[in-house]
Amino acid sequence: MKKFFAVIMFALMLTTTARAAEFEMVEYSAQVKLQWLAAAGIPEAQKFLKLINRPVFFNAENLNDFERMELTNSLYQNLNYAAAMEFVRGKNYKNVFDLACSLSPRAMILGDEGRNVIVGELQTVCLLGDWCLEEFGSKKAIKNVEYNSFWLQDRAGMMASADKFKGEICIIEQGVMIYLADDVRAKMYDNIRDVLKKHGGCLITSDFCQKEYFTAAAAALYGEAEAPKLYAQTKAMYEKVFGDKIDDESLQSEQEALEFLKAHGLHAVKYPLFTVAPKLNVFSRLTPAQIQKVNELSTRNYLWVITAL
Ligand SMILES: C[S@@+](CC[C@H](N)C(=O)[O-])C[C@H]1O[C@@H](n2cnc3c(N)ncnc32)[C@H](O)[C@@H]1O
């Protein structure tokens, strides 16, 4: 009996330690994304960081090539952030389901515009998100935004959140696929299909071309020759935060991605990131030549709009 108890206690300890490490990783990745958005000059991201008051994760002392890494990641995050908001506004979606986006500056803004926004995240991020909303969300944002805790692979959890919306939903998912195991990713897409079938709307993402897209963003700043190096350094940086390997190879060929989506009852159409040249916060840090290159990049079809078949 004693032996049995000891085994149970040991298993519990292991689970608790693994869970703690997992949540730590999650909070770190949420924080890193905010660091790049804040460096791009996005006030909401700066407010989140100020409130959670953690030491800045990466700096010139602990990250090689810091200046270029910061600007490249800030540009990439700013592009994603602005492209998703432009899409939602262009189609005037009233319901936005922001999946695994960590603490979400765009939820604050879209909620303040009167749209209903649910951020689907893990519980630790939700607790921080609720606190930030209370502390600096506008009255409208507090009314319209909520953080719901569920795993992406949890159908009932995702559907229970989606069912709170009335009408079509714009789901946003960006940058999480590379962290997911094949079975979790497959479940996430099945769940998204079920939500879209029931409620209508679409999923927007750049995850199926993220490697090419990030490299193009780096090339716009530092040229074609330097871009693969900045991509590789960024991947290594996120692997350090994540504490594991990142799968950035799967589903990066268009044909493979379309077949994967079809197998999950989904269909994709590719759109330009922006329909008119964007005004990005990060432009205040770029030269006119860099801005021109970013404007060229913004017309490329990196935004996948995915609907249920
Ligand atoms: C790298 S971050 C977010 C990336 C962000 N969307 C971006 O654009 O950079 C990954 C986020 O996914 C969340 N996440 C990871 N695995 C998850 C899962 N299985 N279910 C729900 N959320 C998950 C984490 O909490 C974390 O905030």
pTM: predicted TM-score of the whole model, two decimal places? 0.92
Which residue minimizes the CA distance to atom 5 of ligand 1?
101
Q: What is the pLDDT of residue 54?
A: 80
Fold of 2-308: Rossmann fold (3.40.50)
- Write down the pLDDT at residue 179: 87
Measured in Å, residue 131 CA sits from the centre of ligand 1 at 19
Separation of 25 CA from ligand 1 center, angstroms?
10
Q: Indicate the top mutation candidate among 73, 171, 176 to test ligand 1's pocket, ranked by most ligand atoms within 8 A of CB.
A: 176
What is the reported pLDDT for 171? 98
Residue 22 has a pLDDT of: 53
Ligand 1 geometric centre to CA of 80 (Å): 15
> What pLDDT does residue 24 have?
60
Distance (angstroms) between ligand 1 centre and the Cα of 103 equals 10
pLDDT, tens digit (0-9, with 9 covering 90-100), for 125-136:
999 999 999 999
The angle that helices 288-297 and 66-90 make with each other, rounded to 10 degrees, is 50
Q: Which residues does a 6 A CB cutoff place in the pocket of ligand 1?
A: 26, 29-30, 33, 80, 100-102, 121-122, 125, 151-153, 174-176, 179, 184
Q: Closest ligand 1 atom, CA of 154?
A: 20
The pLDDT score that the predictor gives to residue 112 is: 98
pLDDT at 15: 47
Q: What is the pLDDT of residue 143?
A: 98
Report the pLDDT value the prediction gives residue 57, as an integer from 0 to 100. 83
Using a pLDDT cut of 90, give the percent of the chain over it. Answer: 80
Residue-range domain boundaries for the chain:
2-308
**What is the whole-number distance in angstroms between the Cα of residue 254 and the centre of ligand 1?**
23
Ligand 1 atom 11: the closest Cα is on which residue? 100
Instruction: Give me the residues of the chain with pLDDT under 50, please.
Output: 1-2, 4-17
